[in-house]
Amino acid sequence: MARRPNPRQSFNQADARALLAAFARLDRRAQLVLVLVIGVVAAVAAASYFWSTRPRPGPQASGPSATWPQPAPKTGPASGPRGPTPPATGAADHLLLGNPSAATPDPANRNNYLLAKPYFALSYNDTNGTPNWVSWRLTAADLGSAPRRPQFVPDSELPAGFKRVTHQDYTGSGFDRGHLCPHGDRAVDVQTSFATFVMTNIIPQAASVNQKAWNNLEEYARDLVKKQNRRLYVVAGGAGRGGTGLNGFADTIGKGKVVVPALCWKVIVAVPETGGTDDPAAVGPDARVIAVVMPNDNSAVGDEWARFRVAPAEIERRTGYRLFDRLAPATADALRARVDDVPVPPPEPKQRWREKE
């Protein structure tokens, strides 16, 4: 039986000459178009080949270790074209000084539910629709000029069945959406900045609190980091029920969905920045501690925050929480009893914003 020619071997020199002659008979424009088409086809074929032969990543880990925030390797912040990149931090970093309410990640613990996020940790109160407290560490690597998120968002990490507070629940209420961990403390890049605009990081704050004294304290704390080379451990929250906003007194907003706190409190522990690892033992009894309690009242708070300084023990008394429970007992007792008395210049009046509804 005669052997059939292989089509792949049937293309010979005569065929090549015929194709070249046909190409030569084309006008110049047609020749250019044909060359471009052949080039595009070749480029697509090459890309497909390299894509099909690239190395494949291995399977992703599963289980708690894949979802729980992990501490970064303790080798210091990496540097890049945009400056220092903050290391990914875990719950241990943000809760270094303690867990004030002994919150747990058990969904049955609805009013003291622990959410450990990469950029802060918090205890959520489902009945109130607000955090009990938010805790975070602040270093120079966290600071920058990233933009604010245009709108606040519900927290998708809350367990099924928990209350989902939305941006609109505050609209028209007369209260600002008040950050506890502020955008400015996480402004190194867009991802970290936007992470602070989740509703589990927000409480209803009177405008004069949020935009004046509270904001000035936030800026003062960042100056400690930038100008005095300090590392800060911060915890903040609300307490009580009922505040006075632009529309007068209210104890809830959002059709009863969100409880308005009567007080806004904050504790800041400042230690020298050594570039080392986070260690509770590095916090001594002489560390500077700033604690404030402000009434959530639009007519009672101005620009000055220093006049609201108290001992941390006063915050414990008003909230029932236990601060500094991871510190050595003698150190914790010393910090609880101290009222900060470092002279603070009166803040300069600034142009305030009106929060977008």
Which residues are catalytically annotated?
Answer: 179
The answer to whether the beta carbons of residues 103 and 113 sit under 8 Å apart is yes
Q: Which two tokens stand for residue 89?
A: 């931090």
Please state, in angstroms and rounded to a whole number, the distance separating the CA atoms of residues 25 and 208: 82
Q: Is 195 helix (H, G, I), strand (E, B) or coil?
A: helix
Q: Which residues of 153-171 are buried (b: 16+ CB within 10 A; e: fewer)?
A: ebbeebeeebbebebebbe
